Amino acid sequence: MASVLRCMDCKQTYPIDRRMVTCPVCNGLLDVEHDLDALRGQVSHELFDQRLGSWQPLDRSGVWRYRELVASHVPDGAQVTRGEGNTTLYTASPRLADYAGVAKLQLKHEGENPTGSFKDRGMTTGVTQARLLGARSVICASTGNTSASMASYAAMAGLQALVFFPVGYVALGKVAQSVAYGAISVQVEGDFDDTLALVREAADELPVYLLNSINPFRLEGQKTIMIEMLHQRGWSVPDWIVVPGGNLGNSSIFGKALHELHTLGLIDRLPRLAIIQAEGAAPLYQSYVEGWETRHSVRAETIATAIRIGNPANFPKAHRALDWTNGVVTTVSDQAIMDAKAQIDAAGIGCEPASAASVAGVRRLVDEGIIAPDDDVVGVLTGHLLKDPDAVMHYHADTLDNITATFANRMLTIRPSLAEVAALLPV
């Protein structure tokens, strides 16, 4: 049986090549549903190992290497790929692991993707689907990385990209990418949630294909963050996966990925998922602590602009992912985010502010006794250090409002004198 689209609410199914982003009957979120029984005979650890030794572009991509699990309906040659994925799984230095509070910490650095964030894993599949459906233009609302990625993949595919940002809250590196890659780049006088609502309405009414993370084909690509990480670990399952939560696309699809891998027998147990939200943008956390009585939304505020989202579109899927993985949700302050970032940066790894929520989150969950100090923990770093240079320079100059530069590395100025250079060397 071929993959289908299935509504997570009313359970209705639709053909995989139907042009829709949410359920036309009840407006629920759609899943790409694979025939796991058929896949069981097709995929194996050995198949994925073999592809690691190949120069074939599909095998080289850290998304399409796992194509049976991601988008088996796409004919070979139709993929819009730029070799995304293949990101490093760092073992944190003892100093960084100690800061987080655990003995064993690994960090999967999704900032090493072609445009500098995990969004590329979703755009290779999303833009491929757009082209299969015959779309000529693609649209997204973005806190920056979605637009940078979509603009690049759309350009590669010969599609026109239209990207919409909330005015004033997008990091410089990200806007620069969208403009450079040729997207029609627009600021909207509102926040991210207003911007997404506008773009969803536009995609309903106008002939343009929506590539926000409610698009289920995007999420299938992002699934490979988990698959590739487990492959890198020889399929040894960690105790915890820790991920920042904004629009909750990753959180949602990590749950689905792990559930499918377990059902297929590719892993022998499930790790627990920990979703970390910024204190000022934590609607999932609010519902979680209340036992899911209501679906909260908030006016979001945080320095971590990539997770500055008050009404996450993938909320019900993230809830389902927590159920599947016995997961937890917590929050971290902007101070904790920026201090964790300074530690990740100073370890030589580096990331953008939102990404550091994962390490700050580990630290918090260890403090609360939820993660044990000897647990095996994998954190996801979602974006590259250079996405937000302003946040770096203002932190180290100690010029951020309401944040203290606990680990400041001040820039110095000297006269051209050897004695002044000599005075800088460690004694």
Q: Any bridge partners for residue 277, and if so which?
A: 331
- Provide, rounded to whole angstroms, the least separation between the CB of residue 372 and ligand PLP: 26
Distance CA 290, CA 310 (A): 17
Q: What is the DSSP letter of 371?
A: S
Q: List C-alpha distances in Å: 244 to 143, 236, 330, 402, 410.
A: 14, 22, 10, 22, 28
Distance CA 376, CA 100 (A): 12
Binding test (CB under 6 A) with ligand PLP, winner from 117, 212, 215, 287: 117
- Provide, rounded to whole angstroms, the least separation between the CB of residue 377 and ligand PLP: 18
Q: Which 3 state secondary structure label does DSSP give 314?
A: coil
- Give the nearer residue to ligand PLP in terms of CB position, either 129 or 382: 382
Instruction: Please report, as a single letter, which amino acid is at residue 413.
Output: T
Binding test (CB under 5 A) with Zn ion, winner from 7, 107, 284, 391: 7
Binding test (CB under 5 A) with Zn ion, winner from 10, 167, 393, 423: 10
Q: Which stretch binds ligand PLP (CB under 6 A): 78-86, 156-164, 224-232, 348-356?
A: 348-356
Interaction between residue 245 and ligand PLP (CB under 6 A): yes
Binding test (CB under 6 A) with ligand PLP, winner from 354, 359, 360, 377: 354
Buried b (16+ CB within 10 A) or exposed e, 356-392: bbbbbbbbbbbeeeebeeebbbbbbbbbbbebbeebb
- Give the nearer residue to ligand PLP in terms of CB position, either 43 or 227: 227
Nearest residue to 325 (alpha-carbon basis) of 372, 274, 399: 274
Binding test (CB under 6 A) with ligand PLP, winner from 383, 385, 400, 403: 383
Tokens of 34: 């694979």
Q: How many CB atoms lie within 10 A of CB 237?
A: 17
Distance CA 298, CA 282 (A): 8
Contacts of 171 (CB under 8 A, 6+ apart): 144, 305, 306, 352, 387, 388, 390, 391
Distance CA 83, CA 218 (A): 16
Binding test (CB under 6 A) with ligand PLP, winner from 126, 166, 173, 244: 244
Distance CA 230, CA 236 (A): 6
Interaction between residue 28 and Zn ion (CB under 5 A): yes
- Binding string, residues 118-147; x marks residues near ligand PLP by CB under 6 A: -x-------------------------x--
Nearest residue to 150 (alpha-carbon basis) of 173, 130, 167, 172: 130
Interaction between residue 360 and ligand PLP (CB under 6 A): no
Binding test (CB under 6 A) with ligand PLP, winner from 84, 193, 228, 352: 352
Tokens of 67: 């194509």
- Give the nearer residue to Zn ion in terms of CB position, either 9 or 239: 9
Binding test (CB under 6 A) with ligand PLP, winner from 247, 302, 330, 358: 247
Binding test (CB under 6 A) with ligand PLP, winner from 342, 355, 361, 371: 355
Distance CA 84, CA 64 (A): 9
Q: Which 3 state secondary structure label does DSSP give 269?
A: coil
- Provide, rounded to whole angstroms, the least separation between the CB of residue 354 and ligand PLP: 4
- Give the nearer residue to Zn ion in terms of CB position, either 29 or 365: 29
Interaction between residue 23 and Zn ion (CB under 5 A): yes
The number of residues that bind Zn ion (CB under 5 A) is 7
Interaction between residue 311 and ligand PLP (CB under 6 A): no
- Provide, rounded to whole angstroms, the least separation between the CB of residue 3 and Zn ion: 17
Q: Which stretch binds ligand PLP (CB under 6 A): 27-35, 51-59, 332-340, 350-358?
A: 350-358
Residue 375 contacts which entry, ligand PLP, Zn ion, none (Cβ below 5-8 A, type-dependent):
none
- Give the nearer residue to ligand PLP in terms of CB position, either 43 or 284: 284
- Give the nearer residue to Zn ion in terms of CB position, either 10 or 206: 10
Distance CA 123, CA 84 (A): 10
Interaction between residue 25 and Zn ion (CB under 5 A): yes
Write out the residues near Zn ion by the rule CB under 5 A.
Answer: 7, 9-10, 23, 25-26, 28
Write out the residues near ligand PLP by the rule CB under 6 A.
Answer: 117, 119, 145, 213, 244-251, 306-307, 352, 354-355, 382-383
